[in-house]
Chain A
């Protein structure tokens, strides 16, 4: 466990991506099975415990520490796991903790009633760094700024294998990845996993630069579709088995039984998961509600049924069609859809257009009248290439909406920003009062954040715990993708993807936007 704790600390504190990869590579090369496999699972978020949860850890600490002092400390530190590790008041004879493998075994096999005693004794035995790692392990919230992709990249570096080869088998693998490491070490073939469980890395698009790109691209070489406002998914139909993956390869089947139980055939399809009745996409909010639940509720299934708007095909039957060009894949996709009637799948329509100006008009109209996010432009001759290849797929998002809003409340960020007031609630005028329309995190340079933090401290009217209400004097230019009606906000408006474009130090609050201004945006979506 000591070695793993050191690795976690290094990953948390080393800013250099390369040094992180080196540290991971060294760790995987030096650490025996099955410890390194479990470590990989922890680092990629693939490990959860049935009975060890943040709430349990908190209860264990609150049995030893005054709740008020704990609350004050948590407010200061900002990270639950780190607060627990730092505040634990008992320090026994320090001795090495069990290995990662043994710890995980202990967490999984100890009865619910015995767990508090076990964890308390581990916390007491551990040195400060191991205690920190232990709590991170137990709560499952690492927050060390490491992506699963970086861990896989390190595996690729260590073994000289291709990252995509690793990603392809990743989701069919079982803890503690003995067959994966055997392959990476060159001692076995690549794990032969069930085709139906295999995730195929997605092809991604690049944002288009209207000035530079469009002049160079020939319109007739490209097809266009609406850019749908849902989540990208891959549906793997195994002829009897069904897997549903998010764009990062997470298995999200349990959240969408309405899709998984109602699709059939043999193919791997790429599309957008949306919610709404009769293939009419609802708002992203509705989808968000469903994404928040790991298991769908009956109410959601009825009110917000999910469907997939399909736009590409990776496997037709058992045949890999990724090397074919888009036109051929599209033809096969259309033929497959005709031959396999589906109640939860439909085709993403191809938009006929003349030149780029013509498409620009459609993009604007689509945004104004239907709230479309923009259009996708795909080179007709492009194969399906995992990753973000240049020159094949482009996203052409509509221009963001902008409103000038007044800062109302500021809250300290958690973790990295925990000494700064970096979460902001802002609002617009409704008659003589300002009503909140949204909240956004810090999106500025460190210099601006410091200035803003100082302004918040100097202009506080009152504090509610970690939240400060400020004088209604500072104006933000807030950009957002769309606005929707909402019963959750006093203003009745909720923004999608709000971000703070800039701080308008120069603009008086009296000139900020009004709720009437917002009505235009709501009507458009």
Chain B
């Protein structure tokens, strides 16, 4: 087999998204459970490399090999090509070819248009290694514009309160800002310190996000009616006390489950996901025409079960370092 079950490409001794330092790594995107520091050589898109350097430092890998989307890179008798995954800026699927055999590792991906990430491209293959973060039929994501509409309505209805939107610093934060701008929100958007550098990087890489300001140092009374983007860990923490009567919001695919939102003390759950929902996962599997499907990173069992019902060869991969069951990782 061209690819081992731990995502090791034996012929060129390279690992995809390894969780421990390796001599040669191919990194699909910049989220912490995929991109780690300490590898020898890292092959990734230029955007992903830029994100890694911001998050882990300039010398977080021995060397970097930037590879543009759609450009084949021949290594010995294996060809590697990166295709957009639509998950976050720079996120890629990895196509591995050898002797006419095609293997695609999706990394994390979504199909829906998102102007803060290069749009997903379908890549046909023999073996598909797909993520399954939202691999249960209860996940049917609404359109994000609906959810942003709910946020803006809540802001209009409660002008005396400040809306704190919990969003992961890489990807989700910029997507939410982009969606707010597209919906006509022209006010400054305030950022938790952990967001600032990555938002600047997105802007440097050409993603328009409008007027962004640090939330720290603002005057409490003046934050009524404003929107603040912060990491999920900060929105219910002491940090949030600096804002007037905050409405705790969270932008995540997990928020479709109201009991989850209650448990997280989220008053306004926004179902905005950077992953495929159940329908899109199934659509993708069929469209790639893969005969074999490996499922990783999420609720593998249900998707494997479904694939087998369709007559496909399917199995779960239990890769060390990816989230445990029930864990709800970066989105």
Contact = CB atoms under 8 A, between A and B. Distances in A.
Interface residues of A, number: 32
B259 A15 contact: no
Given A65-B137, A69-B306, A15 B258 contact: no
B137 to A, nearest CB: 5
A132 B258 contact: yes
Interface in B134-157: 136-140, 142
Nearest to B158: A19
B260 A419 contact: yes
Interface in B228-278: 256-263, 265-269
A418 B266 CA distance: 15
A67 B138 CA distance: 13
B324 interface: yes
Given A73-B137, A79-B259, 8 more contacts: A12-B258, A15-B267, A69-B306, A72-B301, A76-B299, A77-B138, A87-B138, A457-B326
Q: Which of B138, B267, B268, B328 has the most CB of A within 10 A?
A: B138
Q: Which of A9, A86, A132 has the most CB of B within 10 A?
A: A86
B3 interface: no
B78 interface: no
Interface string B120-140: 000000000000000011111
Q: Which of B137, B266, B328 has the most CB of A within 10 A?
A: B137
Contact of A419 (B142, B265, B328): B328
Interface stretch (A296-304, A318-326, A409-417, A470-478): A409-417
Given A69-B137, A73-B138, A73-B302, A13 B257 contact: no
A89 interface: yes
A83 interface: yes
Given A69-B137, A417-B263, A457-B324, A9 B305 contact: no
Contact of A13 (B138, B140, B269, B328): B269
Question: Chain B interface: which size bin?
Answer: 20 to 34
A83 B139 CA distance: 10
Contacts of A416: 259, 262-263
Nearest to B140: A86
Contacts of A15: 265, 267
Nearest to A86: B138
A14 B267 contact: yes
Interface of B: 136-140, 142, 256-263, 265-269, 299, 301-302, 305-306, 309, 324, 326, 328
Contacts of B306: 66, 69
A69 B136 contact: yes
A416 B260 CA distance: 6
Nearest to B269: A13
A412 B327 CA distance: 13
Contacts of B260: 418-419
Q: Name A's interface SS.
A: helix
Interface of A: 9, 12-15, 65-66, 68-70, 72-73, 76-79, 82-83, 86-87, 89, 128, 132, 143, 145, 412, 415-419, 457
Contacts of A87: 137-138
Contacts of B263: 415-419
Given A69-B302, A72-B302, A73-B302, A86 B257 contact: yes
Q: Which of B257, B265, B269 has the most CB of A within 10 A?
A: B257
B147 to A, nearest CB: 11
Nearest to B299: A76
Contacts of B326: 412, 419, 457
A13 B137 contact: no
Contacts of B261: 13
A87 to B, nearest CB: 5
Nearest to B150: A129
A225 B110 CA distance: 68
B257 A145 contact: no
Contacts of A83: 138
A82 B260 CA distance: 11
A86 B142 CA distance: 11
Contacts of B142: 128
